[in-house]
Amino acid sequence: MTRETLDRKLNSLLDDVQSLEELVEKATIGAVEALKRQDLVAAQQIYDDDKTINTLRYNLENDCIITIATQQPIMAGDLRLVASILEVAGELERMGDYAKGIAKICLLIGKEPLIKPLVDIPRMVEISLGMLRRAVSAFINHDVELARSIPDDDYQVDDLYNQVYRELIMIMFTRPTTIDQANHLMWAAHNLERMADRVTNICERAIYVVTGEMKEVDQTDDEMNSSSHGDGG
């Protein structure tokens, strides 16, 4: 192994992490935008494009494995990085599934008028994706301080989720015919809430790569009834 070859490989793996993050971001923004505008064509496109994210994830995983096999020994910081890229790739792919899930909700609601204007859900997207962008940047640039600061923002997403949840429950109570759509919107919000939680996992990996410490970073976790909603996808 030459150090130069390994560095080139590792940089190329990190470039792919960046690309994966950009695809997830695009899909999430697109899905919520489609939901807001009830654009079924765009929703279908995002639903189908999830395959691209999955393929990139598998390719990235494969490249990591090839790197481990051909660039031995992969040790210490390099090993922690490659192992973490595998983990982060999985997290990003799962976030892509959340975007796909929102696109599907858009298709399920169809052209039926929305029971409420979507304000908090787009705000959740803004905050979650902001967290995601910074987390991936911290991961790629070995920025521990940045990684440690991000999970604190999760409470904002949790607050918005709780707000959306209460509001939708209220609507369901007063107008039982809306239950179907309200339930769908609840899923969309829940997906975004989960996305922010997964950002925290990326932050943990960013810290692990640099310090070797593998532990949970503190985050506020006051979402309501999260267990009853499952792991929406």
Residues that bind other proteins (CB under 8 A): 1-3, 6, 72-73, 75-80, 212
In angstroms, what is the minimal distance from the CB of 213 to other proteins? 9
For residue 92, the one-letter residue type is: L
Q: Find the shortest distance in angstroms from Cβ 76 to other proteins.
A: 5
User: What 3-state DSSP class applies to 218?
Assistant: coil
Residue 167 CA: distances (Å) to CA of 25, 92, 120, 164 = 26, 29, 10, 5
Residue number with CB closer to other proteins (62 or 72) = 72
Q: For other proteins, which is the closer residue by CB, 2 or 174?
A: 2
For residue 138, give the nearest of 233, 217, 53 by alpha carbon. Answer: 217
Considering the complex, state which of residue 10 and residue 186 has its C-beta at the smaller distance from other proteins: 10
Rounded to a whole number of angstroms, the minimum distance from the CB of residue 165 to other proteins is 41
Q: How far is the CB of 157 from other proteins (least distance, A)?
A: 32
Cβ proximity to other proteins: between 179 and 210 the closer is 210
CB of 84 to other proteins, least distance (A): 12
CB 232 within 8 A of CB 190: yes
- Helix spans in 110-178 (H): 120-140, 144-149, 154-174
Residue type, 167: E
| CA-CA-CA-CA torsion sign (96, 97, 102, 105) | positive
Identity of the residue, 16 or 78, whose beta carbon is nearer to other proteins in the bound complex: 78
